[in-house]
Chains A and B, each alone.
Chain A
Amino acid sequence: MVHGEAWTIKEFFVYPNEYIYWTIQIVMYPFMTGLVAGAFVLSSLYHVFGVKQLKEIARFSLVFSFALLPVAMMPLMLHLQQPQRGIEVMMTPHFTSAIAAFGIVFTTYAMIVASELWFVYRKYFVDTALELRQLGDKRTPVQNFRHLLYTVLTLGAWDVGEHALEKDEKAVKFLAGLGIPVACFLHGYAGFIFGSVKANALWMTPLMPVIFICSAVVSGIALCIITYVVTMELRKLIYAWQRRNKPYLPSTEELKSAELHVVTMTTKYLVMFLVLAITLELLDLIFRGYTAVKSWDILRKVIYEKDFTKIFILQYGFGNLLPFILLLLPRLTIRRAVAATLMVLVGVFMMRWNVVIGGQAFSASYSGFMEYVLPIWPHDMETFKEGFFGALMVLLTPYVLFYGLTKVMPVFGLKEDSH
């Protein structure tokens, strides 16, 4: 079986070698990197621009961004025909290719996020390590391991005096500021990968990187809101249960009002970026229709006929317009915010889908169409990797990583003076 034949349906004249070669995993790739970049930008809004209302969610989204980071690479590895050679992109990059920059941009970004995290959590690492050290010989094996882990994590920087912490704060601010352009670059470059393919009429537009960045920020903020609310709900349950023994814990009402405050503030930024993203996307569409170059005949058929439901109903209607209204109606509740942000995530996912799959929905001969049938039940490795379950695996991994990370770097319940 030829790669791509299992899920491609051809209609009318399509060149014999044309198939849907870039499938669900390539939809997942910009979607996941978008979440990484978006989550980071959200955390930077607090650290750099001092948006105090975002303090609570800032630390949270920074850790979440770090958890998402390795997952941005997963879909690429799952899609490669020779994944064992994937490392060559970093080892022998061919710099005329947009993909070759991946290694450099990605590692730079990873280092920035990791060092920012370290500065944010340094005091916590030192405090915990010292606390465990005091236990001396009474440490259990688990505590021994934690002691070792936190000692290593301090990297030998034990000074937690006022002066040192001030310096930490400055470093965080600097790194968060540096991280914003790098995060935008990381994602803008994912857009460039598509936007620079001159052979593809739907992809080729200089607006692509900008559209990608805007929708990335939208999706990143949306995912942070949802994950934040879910974690807060869990905390409420846990605290309600623990309060019997520890009456000093915050009450459910206190948590609820804090939660609503954070969510309302964050959704304002979400709406802002959403407006920007939609404006650019519509500009692109209008421009194509107005200039009506050679490819417009086939693009029009794909956009207004073949993919109408996916583009206008799922992406613009359900994914953009509806949540836009929901978020702007007065007296926002948590439930409504969550519903709206979930819709936004669907909208951004559909946007990625419509770009990646939509760009392959027509033949380069402009006289035929290709339809992608997502493999649900895998019958071999290929249909697993590039099918529903492969995508699901990519979608769930960040949560597993996030859970692991919060064991080492708790995002809630730190003392007030930390940032």
Chain B
Amino acid sequence: MINRRDFCKKALLVAGGLAIPLTALEIFNPRRLRAEKSGSGKVRWVFLVDTHKCVGCGLCVRACKIENEVPYDANVTRTWVERYVVTKDGKIHVDSPKGALDGFTSTKIDQGAEHPLEIRNEDIDKAFFVPKLCNQCDNPPCVQVCPVGATYQTEDGVVLVDRSWCIGCGYCIMGCPYGVRFFHPVHRVAEKCNFCYHRISKGMKSACVDACPFGARRIGNIKDPNDPVTKIIMTERVAILKEEYGTKPQVFYLGLSREVK
């Protein structure tokens, strides 16, 4: 029969032994994490697209593919340009052949497996181009659904992917309402636009911004009130994409039309 003294001794030993592996875990305080994410930083990267200025040349797409080493001919891209053609019968035609890598070389609308659609000029009510890229959402669903935490948001708001940690389940691709994510054909992990994080964190502009000859794309810091991009966002009428998902996107559009998907 065990006596009281022995029992106490052994109980302490067991409790101590159990505690050792527990020390390997760190209890995070969610408030502290949040503070680190949104509080202290002086930078929050945002993007401004002026759709009036875009001509659909596709130079941004090319620059992006080369800069970020996404295979040139692969049918995936970190950024792309969409063409909208609204005809007099009220129909909306959209296309983005190869993400507009080579611009829009034909007036025919690319319809995938269907035949390209010929639209006569006199039938067109309006037509315009809309560049798309990752919205670096304030409430990113892709970060929420990653089962291993391989995708995360930096202090300055950019969502990144850890290529050495991603298991390639595709849940983030499914979770993004904007369709900006894909599997990198070489690294075989989730891939997305990161505002050229390696460039902007060194004081440069993203490759697409530098490549755009018309100034349709601009990048800025919304926490700096003197930033020209911030000034436009604060004073002019800007729109965001798919507000209904509650993702709080941080790519702002000037001249966004209701037809844009």
Contact = CB atoms under 8 A, between A and B. Distances in A.
Interface string B104-139: 000000011110000000000000000010000000
B25 to A, nearest CB: 11
A100 B178 CA distance: 24
Interface string A67-111: 000000000100111110110110011101111101000000000
Nearest to A76: B169
A82 B166 contact: yes
Interface string B59-100: 000000000000000111100101000000000111110110
Contact of A17 (B76, B111, B171): B76
B145 A17 contact: no
A97 B95 CA distance: 33
A17 B181 contact: yes
A365 B94 contact: yes
B113 A199 contact: no
A21 B94 contact: no
A197 B99 contact: no
Interface string B174-202: 11111111110100110000000000000
Contacts of B180: 17
A412 interface: no
B167 interface: yes
B258 interface: no
A118 B195 CA distance: 56
Given A2-B183, A199-B176, A12 B112 contact: yes
Pick the most buried of A10, A14, A93, A94: most chain B CB atoms within 10 A of its CB: A94
B144 interface: yes
A89 B148 contact: yes
A138 to B, nearest CB: 44
A17 B112 contact: no
Contacts of B185: 1-3
A83 B132 CA distance: 31
Given A82-B189, A199-B176, A13 B94 contact: yes
Nearest to A371: B113
Contacts of B141: 198-199
Contacts of B149: 92, 94
A13 B261 contact: yes
A100 B148 CA distance: 7
B80 A16 contact: yes
Interface residues of B, number: 51
A389 interface: no
Interface residues of A, number: 50
A241 to B, nearest CB: 50
B137 to A, nearest CB: 11
Interface in A144-189: none
A368 interface: yes
A82 B168 contact: yes
Contacts of A13: 82, 93-96, 111-112, 261
A90 B28 CA distance: 19
Contacts of B144: 96-97
A147 to B, nearest CB: 35
A102 B94 CA distance: 40
Contacts of B76: 2, 16-17
Pick the most buried of A13, A83, A102, A365: most chain B CB atoms within 10 A of its CB: A13
B179 A198 contact: no
A369 B148 CA distance: 31
Nearest to A91: B148
A194 B94 CA distance: 28
Contacts of A19: 182
A15 interface: yes
A1 B176 CA distance: 22
A5 interface: yes
B147 interface: yes
A86 to B, nearest CB: 6
Given A11-B112, A89-B148, A79 B169 contact: yes
B112 A94 contact: no
Contact of A198 (B80, B98, B177, B189): B177
A1 B182 CA distance: 12
26 contacts: A4-B183, A10-B113, A13-B94, A15-B80, A15-B132, A16-B77, A16-B98, A17-B77, A17-B180, A80-B168, A81-B169, A81-B183, A85-B165, A85-B167, A85-B168, A88-B167, A94-B147, A96-B143, A97-B144, A100-B147, A198-B245, A199-B174, A365-B94, A365-B261, A367-B94, A371-B113
Interface of B: 74-77, 80, 82, 92-96, 98-99, 111-114, 132, 141, 143-149, 165-171, 173-183, 185, 188-189, 244-246, 261
